[in-house]
Structure 1
Amino acid sequence: MPRTSCTFTLVADPAEAQARFATLVEREPEALSVIASVTQALVTDPSRYVEPRWWTDADASGEVVAAFMHTPPHPLHIALATADQARDLAALLADAGGSLPGVGGQRTAAEAFADEWAALTGATSTVSMEVGRFDLPTRPRLAFEVSGSFRAATDADAPLVHRWHQQFVDAIEGGGRAASPLTQHLADGRVGLWEDDGRPVSMAYASPANGGVTRISGVWTPPDLRGHGYASGVVAALSTARLDAGEACMLYTDLANPTSNAIYQAMGYRRIGDSISIRFDA
């Protein structure tokens, strides 16, 4: 059956993008979690990224069925798309003569985009990370006792939280990028700390809920404090707090890290999909 070319709508205004994605976020909140939270942050602070762009594709009724986002210097993010939609957007962007550092998001679509981009531009593509998407269908549980207790971080914790968040981003990305501030997360009580013997030993934060779903992220324990279960404690407690607030929880985890995958699954998180990050080199 012949392939039908897509007609994409390009959006450059965060508020307009948020409005265009609203119905899709309600229908597919987990798949759209990254786009929804990043777009919401840009509505609040448009200076966070320079020249962000979003693309949508709609069905015959005009309903948005595909969602793409590019916030330089990050790779293009594919939240929801078919392989054909991804290939068509790659062709459109390659024809426009633009450049991209890479593509990430939904595995099948991202791989299709990368193949088309490489064929049309001559770039080489390399998988940089494979990520599992997990949801939490039940209340979290800890299979072992963790010394210490949980509390919500406050403004007084801001220097520590921002320092640890930068260390988390450096560890994930290899350094070179300033981490986005967690000021609003702190103000909204969405950053959690695990304390032991009166001092913070681990942290995590929860994105603003979109479509009723929050994403647990930024899980960080300094290297010299690892091996005590602190990360498990803070993730379980923060997840419980967000469930009690009426939100569903999800998270992403590096599939190359069997330890974190096992910890989250033992806690009750369930793998429901895969994402991938692919780097482009000229």
Structure 2
Amino acid sequence: MDTSTWRRVPDVHSFLARAGGFLRSRPALHTLTLTVCEGLRARGPQAYGDEAPVFGVLEQDGEVRAAYLRTPPYRLIVTPLTPEEAGSLAAHLHAVGDPVPGVNADAATAAAFAGAWRARTGVAPRLHERLRLYRLGELQRPEPAPEGRGRIAESRDRGLLARWYAEFVRDIGGGGVQDPGAWADRHIADRRITLWETPGGVPVSMAGLTALVAGQIRVAPVYTPAALRGRGYAGAATVEAGLAALAEGAEEVLLFADLANPTSNGVYQRVGYRPVTDFAVYDLAVVAVPR
């Protein structure tokens, strides 16, 4: 007899107290949940928007087996589930009346939940994006390497970073809720953006880093303006960001790549990233902004 039960958790601190050990047990697969929680823990419940985030765990005999969170208006983030667990999560969220604009999870979990949500609500899911999660193996500089150098973004780069962040959000099809200027200020203060610049000192690409949590750091976002793509700048910036992550003490350096973009997937593999698993993002009921 299955005695597992989904339970709501009131805030990020209670969530980490209850589910932290479970999340840290598989940091690569749980990277989204870990890094979002770290942002909420460090910056407060409005770190990703004005509405309060929601959290839940699946427990069996007092042990956490799975977890979810959502920071409105973003999609639901879910740890890996069996089809049966996905069905029970859909029932739980429907019963408590939570809106579910979309889901972001490993591919099997996302498909199972989208199907269960459709069976319960009649809402047809729309596949928004397929992603591949990569883990850094042996870091290799791109060949041929573009001329220039990497450097950490500074206060003089604020306007550029704000503009590039807004362009990045637009390019991935999101509305975004974070103010670009505030995003730039925070990442500059935390020294979490690496720029690749030409020998003349002109920035041409950026690669960001999430905070170190559970031994993992994720490279995100990576952005090169459209007019400057195809010259190796993104690969060079990604390598420099990876080196910064390793220097900070990361045991795992991760990144996501859109499977619809074979160029970026090829670049990341050439500089040393190896596939971990595939993720999928579905819209449910409304067009949601992406994580």
Query: Which TM class, normalised by the smaller chain length?
Result: over 0.9
Deviations 1:88-123 (A, max 9, x none): 010111233433211111111111111111011110
Unaligned runs of 5+ in 1: none
- In the other structure, the counterpart of 2:60 is 59
- In the other structure, the counterpart of 1:71 is 71
8 A contact 2:4–2:60 mirrored in 1: no
Q: Spell out the pairing of 1:213-252 with structure 2 (5 A cutoff).
A: 213-247=216-250, 248-252=252-256
- In the other structure, the counterpart of 1:190 is 192
CA distance in 2, matches of 1:149, 1:87: 50
How many residue pairs end up in the alignment?
279
Q: CA RMSD in A?
A: 1.8
SS of the residue 1:150 aligns to = strand
Q: TM-score, normalised by structure 2?
A: 0.90
SS of the residue 1:274 aligns to = strand
Select which of 263, 267, 274 maps to 1:270: 274
Deviations 1:32-57 (A, max 9, x none): 21111111212223223312111111
SS of the residue 2:79 aligns to = strand
Q: TM-score, normalised by structure 1?
A: 0.92
CA distance in 2, matches of 1:263, 1:209: 24
CA distance in 1, matches of 2:265, 2:179: 24
- In the other structure, the counterpart of 2:289 is none
Deviations 1:110-147 (A, max 9, x none): 11111111011110111111100000122233122211
Change in CA separation of 1:212 and 1:218 when aligned onto 2, cut-off 3 Å? same
Deviations 1:223-258 (A, max 9, x none): 111121110100011101211222120000101110
- In the other structure, the counterpart of 1:26 is 24
Q: Write the letter of the residue equivalent to 2:224.
A: T
Unaligned runs of 5+ in 2: 287-291
Could you tell which deviates more after superposition, 5-14 or 246-255? 5-14
8 A contact 1:5–1:88 mirrored in 2: no
Q: Spell out the pairing of 1:25-174 with structure 2 (5 A cutoff).
A: 25-43=23-41, 44-48=43-47, 49=49, 50-60=51-61, 62-174=62-174
8 A contact 1:206–1:214 mirrored in 2: yes
Q: Write the letter of the residue equivalent to 2:56.
A: W
CA distance in 2, matches of 1:236, 1:116: 40
Q: Write the letter of the residue equivalent to 2:53.
A: P
SS of the residue 1:74 aligns to = coil
Q: CA deviation at 1:179?
A: 5.4
8 A contact 1:20–1:64 mirrored in 2: yes
Change in CA separation of 1:86 and 1:255 when aligned onto 2, cut-off 3 Å? same
- Seq. identity, %: 34
8 A contact 2:6–2:92 mirrored in 1: no
Could you tell which deviates more after superposition, 91-100 or 130-139? 91-100
Tell me which stretches of 4 or more aligned residues in structure 1 moved more than 6 Å. none
CA distance in 2, matches of 1:146, 1:164: 20
Q: Write the letter of the residue equivalent to 1:217.
A: A
Could you tell which deviates more after superposition, 76-85 or 245-254? 76-85
Change in CA separation of 1:92 and 1:72 when aligned onto 2, cut-off 3 Å? same
Change in CA separation of 1:221 and 1:99 when aligned onto 2, cut-off 3 Å? same
SS of the residue 2:191 aligns to = coil
CA distance in 1, matches of 2:69, 2:140: 32
Select which of 5, 11, 14 maps to 1:13: 11
CA distance in 2, matches of 1:162, 1:5: 49
CA distance in 2, matches of 1:252, 1:168: 14
SS of the residue 2:284 aligns to = strand
